[in-house]
A = this chain, B = another copy of it.
Amino acid sequence: MQKTGLVLSACARTWKSVQMASSGVARRNPLENKVALVTASTDGIGLAIAQRLAQDGARVVLSSRKQENVDRAVAALQGEGLSVTGTVCHVGKAEDRERLVATAVKLHGGVDILISNAAVNPVFGNIMDVTEEVWDKVLDINVKATALLTKAVVPEMEKRGGGSVVIVASIGAYSPFPGLGPYNVSKTALLGLTKNLARELAQRNIRVNCLAPGLIKTSFSQLLWMGKEREESIKETMQIRRLGKPEDCAGIVSFLCSEDASYITGETVVVGGGTPSRL
């Protein structure tokens, strides 16, 4: 008797919240009025993410290490009518990280979104072969710089009452790509960094999630798939019989930064065409 009453009153609550959600539907520009920083975003996955965030309403500040690449990407996206500016940033340098944040604050008054796309050049090599210098470079840029850039951005997010971070890892974090040892290990570290940051930042209303792309057809990954024969043999092993495109990674990142993902933090989403990764 009492149980029935409880159920009914819970149903009533559900109905009320459903109705509130359905009134005021306005998901056309889910990132409207948001300011987004995207690193390593003048090519490949980073560029596709920058483009998508801008299409979804964000004002985007893109960046990479070379001015000419920044200029080209900004021009291209502005040519599509998108709100995009850019600045040179080597994420391994403290002054560059600070300048990146300062640029967004100066231009747009703050930062709401950070997409940390690791920027180290593809470092091929097995762990048994690479030198200490390779480890230094890969861990510095892929792991340490991601942590420090987040640390630099968080105070700005707090001023805005919260924010969203997405870290770009790789499916190699779960199932190593052959010949990319230190790279794979650094990406595994990012899975942990995501969990740790999510925990530390939840009370500040900042969510932290992670994207793990599979084999995406970019200039970065071309040594893995280049060659008709190799590409065909790779496809044979995939469930969805094509390599991924940069755009395949962009929608989920925008989603994770939107209000729709407000109860999702500390999670990694794999975009891998069904490639085995984890349960």
- In chain A, positions 41-68 with a C-beta closer than 8 Å to chain B are 43-44, 47-48, 51-52, 55-56
CB distance from A115 to the nearest CB of B (A): 16
Q: How far is the CA of A182 from the CA of B150 in the complex (A)?
A: 14
Q: Which listed segment binds B: A32-40, A104-112, A257-265?
A: A257-265
Report chain B residues within 8 Å CB of A77: 22
Residue A128 CB within 8 A of the other chain: yes
* Contact A185 B178, CB 8 Å, known A18-B76, A128-B154: no
Q: How far is the CA of A189 from the CA of B147 in the complex (A)?
A: 14
A247 touches B17 (CB 8 A): yes
CB distance from A221 to the nearest CB of B (A): 9
Report chain B residues within 8 Å CB of A240: 202, 207, 263, 265
**How many copies make up the complex?**
4
Report chain B residues within 8 Å CB of A71: none
Residue A163 CB within 8 A of the other chain: no
A195 touches B176 (CB 8 A): yes
**Sample (12) of A-B pairs whose CB atoms are under 8 Å apart:** A14-B44, A128-B151, A128-B154, A128-B200, A132-B148, A136-B144, A188-B192, A189-B189, A189-B192, A198-B274, A202-B239, A251-B261
16 new A-B pairs (CB below 8 Å) besides A188-B192, A251-B258? A6-B219, A7-B222, A15-B76, A17-B247, A18-B48, A127-B200, A128-B201, A132-B144, A175-B195, A184-B192, A188-B191, A198-B274, A199-B239, A252-B261, A264-B269, A266-B274
Per CB-CB distance, the 6 closest pairs between chain A and chain B, nearest first, are: A188-B192, A251-B260, A248-B263, A202-B239, A10-B219, A189-B189
Measuring CB to CB, which residues of chain A are less than 8 angstroms from any residue of chain B?
A: 6-7, 10-11, 13-15, 17-19, 21-23, 25, 27-28, 43-44, 47-48, 51-52, 55-56, 76-77, 80, 82, 94, 126-128, 132, 135-136, 139, 143-144, 147-148, 150-151, 154, 173-176, 178, 181-182, 184-189, 191-193, 195-203, 207, 214, 217-219, 222, 226, 239-241, 244-252, 255, 258, 260-274, 276, 278-279
